């Protein structure tokens, strides 16, 4: 099926056009602070904007890697006006040859999933076999049970799975973009993102297989494992931070501030920006996810930080200057 035959919605077309306009503006090197602030507000205003911007960046990287001078000069804007650059980007993105169609397909899957949560929402789901799911923020799951299988597909996000013991002895299989987790009676937390998946077992054990089916690992209670299509990371012991979101908190144990803020941003709409100079600052504590403004206030008072709110969707965290 060619992309030309696939109709984009008005919102998707506007997102493509807006992302191209901002990409051209910011790549020009002449964007003022006010324009950068306006871009961040646009980015945070709609999930489509963020998705379009991420794909526009990927498009730029992919085109820059192509041989020949045309692609490179198109994206660098060499000898071209911003309007020309924007027009070329819109054409490339709308053609879908380098990823827009893939994004649209993923986005549609998530929106049409059997069960899903919004940003900041948690939801409990009881399944027909007695299994239970607790979905964390911004999570999408499909369920397929029949006489031969119990199959879940975690499209995106994070969930706590309490796998029931099946009378028909069907294992519970959870499929992700990077592999598969198989369980019978276990409790585990599974998080799936673009780069990797992470599983942490709370009770009993699970079998983790890579997407290519060439390798598998056993993960027991008290252990966690990160994996992607490229392989497994080292098996690690779990700590108190695993699954703390169930009780409405993020628990940080000597965690880099940049990582903590990235995690906290999953529970609020908009952008939480960390000054790169303090991204490595080690932070410990319990921070509420149901009131992220209170979590930011706790960081501000407890670690000599400065929280700047430019809009309701854009927060910047920097070091507090004394004197």
Residue 285: its pLDDT value, please? 94
CA–centroid distance for 62 within its chain: 21
What is residue 84's predicted lDDT score, i.e. its pLDDT? Answer: 56
Alpha helices in 154-225 (DSSP H): none
Q: How is residue 75 written in tokens?
A: 């994206």
Backbone angles phi, psi at 207, to 5 degrees: -110, 125
pLDDT tens-digit series, residues 63-73: 554 444 434 44
Give pLDDT, residue 75: 46
The Cα-based distances of 237 to 14, 202, 275 in angstroms read: 46, 11, 31
Whether the Cβ atoms of residue 152 and residue 175 lie closer than 8 Å to each other: yes
* pLDDT tens digits along 119-148: 899 999 999 888 999 999 999 999 998 888
| CB-CB neighbours of 41 under 10 Å | 17
> Is the CB of residue 89 less than 8 Å from the CB of residue 23?
yes
The structure's pTM equals 0.69
Number of neighbouring beta carbons within 10 Å of residue 138 = 19
How far is residue 159's CA from residue 172's CA, in Å, rounded to a whole number?
Answer: 14
The answer to whether 49 touches 12, Cβ cutoff 8 Å, is: no
How sure is the predictor about 29, in pLDDT bands with cuts at 50, 70 and 90? low
* Among candidate residues 204, 206, 142, the one with its CA nearest the CA of residue 171: 206
- Angle in degrees, 0-180, between the axes of helices 100-111 and 82-95, rounded to the nearest 10: 60
| pLDDT over threshold 60, residue 3 | no
Sheet with 305-311, side-by-side order of all strands: 271-274, 314-319, 305-311
Q: pLDDT by residue (tens digit) across 203-223?
A: 999 999 998 777 999 999 999
The torsion angle over the Cα atoms of residues 235, 241, 244 and 245, rounded to 10 degrees, is -80
């Amino acid at each position: 099926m060619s992309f030309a035959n696939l109709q984009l919605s008005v919102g998707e077309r506007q997102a493509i056009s807006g992302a191209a306009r901002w990409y051209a503006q910011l790549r020009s090197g002449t964007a003022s602070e006010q324009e950068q602030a306006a871009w961040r507000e646009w980015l945070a205003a709609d999930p489509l904007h963020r998705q379009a911007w991420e794909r526009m960046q990927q498009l730029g990287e992919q085109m820059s890697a192509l041989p020949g001078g045309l692609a490179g000069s198109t994206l660098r804007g060499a000898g071209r006006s911003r309007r020309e650059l924007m027009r070329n980007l819109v054409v490339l993105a709308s053609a879908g040859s380098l990823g827009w169609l893939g994004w649209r397909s993923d986005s549609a899957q998530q929106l049409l999933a059997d069960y899903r949560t919004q940003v900041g929402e948690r939801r409990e789901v009881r399944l027909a076999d007695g299994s239970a799911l607790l979905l964390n923020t911004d999570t999408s799951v499909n369920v397929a049970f029949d006489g031969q299988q119990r199959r879940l597909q975690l499209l995106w996000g994070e969930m706590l799975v309490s796998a029931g013991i099946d009378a028909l002895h069907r294992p519970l299989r959870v499929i992700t973009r990077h592999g598969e987790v198989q369980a019978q009676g276990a409790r585990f937390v599974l998080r799936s993102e673009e780069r990797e998946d992470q599983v942490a077992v709370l009770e009993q054990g699970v079998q983790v297989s890579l997407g290519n089916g060439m390798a598998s690992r056993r993960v027991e209670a008290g252990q966690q494992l990160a994996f992607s299509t490229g392989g497994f990371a080292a098996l690690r012991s779990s700590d108190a931070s695993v699954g703390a979101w169930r009780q409405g908190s993020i628990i940080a144990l000597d965690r880099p501030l940049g990582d903590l803020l990235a995690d906290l941003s999953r529970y609020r709409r908009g952008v939480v920006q960390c000054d790169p100079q303090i991204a490595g600052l080690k932070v410990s504590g319990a921070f509420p996810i149901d009131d992220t403004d209170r979590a930011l206030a706790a960081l501000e008072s407890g670690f000599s930080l400065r929280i700047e709110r430019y809009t309701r969707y854009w927060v910047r965290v920097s070091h507090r200057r004394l004197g």
